Structure 1
Amino acid sequence: MPNIGAPELIVILIVALVVFGPRKLPELGKSLGAGLREFRKVTSGVTEEFKTTVAAPSIAPVQAVPATAVTAPTESAPRVS
Structure 2
Amino acid sequence: MWQVYAHAVPHPFASSVAQEMFQGGFIPSDTDFRIFRDFGKLSGLDLAWNADGYVYHTRLDAPDRVPPAAIQRTGDNVLALVNGAYH
What is the TM-score normalised by the length of structure 2? 0.29
Q: Structure 1 or 2: larger helix share?
A: 1
Rg: which structure is higher?
Answer: 1
Task: Give TM-score, length-normalised by structure 1.
Answer: 0.31
Larger relative contact order, structure 1 or 2 (CA cutoff 8 Å, min sep 6): 2
